[in-house]
Amino acid sequence: MIKLTFCLVRLPHLTREAFQDYWFNHHAPLVAHHAQTLQIRRYVQLHSLPPETSQGLRASRAAPEEFDGVAELWFDSLEALAANSERPEAREAGRILLEDERTFIDLPKSPLWWGEERTIVG
């Protein structure tokens, strides 16, 4: 399994609450609608808690500002992802999701990467 991890920073005009509400109530159903076309096997959203919740933890590590949320998406393989780029319906689904992401995510400030999970505990 290949996993996409996407650390989300909201657009400046949105509050954290408005961002998370839109992400969960509008964008998540859009992802679910296109999941089969894009061969998404699992999709999880991690919503950050109020900033003061993590303030002490971040300070103890001199950590940067937190993200507003993290999206995790699982796919079967890199080959399956490459196959998506060859399928017009998958390219269109990806375009629709990206178009929606531009309405609430500050994309240049939101890192994302492909990885492979290695479970240590659990």
CA angle 106, 107, 108 (to 5 degrees): 100
Which strands sit side by side in the sheet containing 42-47, from one edge to the other?
Answer: 42-47, 69-75, 2-8, 112-115
Give the mean pLDDT of the chain: 94
Q: How confident is the model at residue 64 (pLDDT cuts 50, 70, 90)?
A: confident
Please give the pLDDT value at position 105: 98
Mean pLDDT of 52-63: 80
State both tokens at 12.
């400046």
CA distances from 21 to 14, 47, 80, 112 (A): 10, 10, 31, 21
Max distance between CA atoms of the chain, in angstroms, equals 48
Q: What is the pLDDT of residues 31-54, one digit of tens each?
A: 999 999 999 999 999 999 888 778
Q: Is the pTM of this model over 0.85?
A: yes
**Where do the structural domains in the chain lie, given as residue ranges?**
2-115
63 φ/ψ sector (left φ>0, alpha ψ -120 to 50, else beta): beta
Q: How confident is the model at residue 18 (pLDDT cuts 50, 70, 90)?
A: very high
* CATH for the stretch 2-115: 3.30.70.100
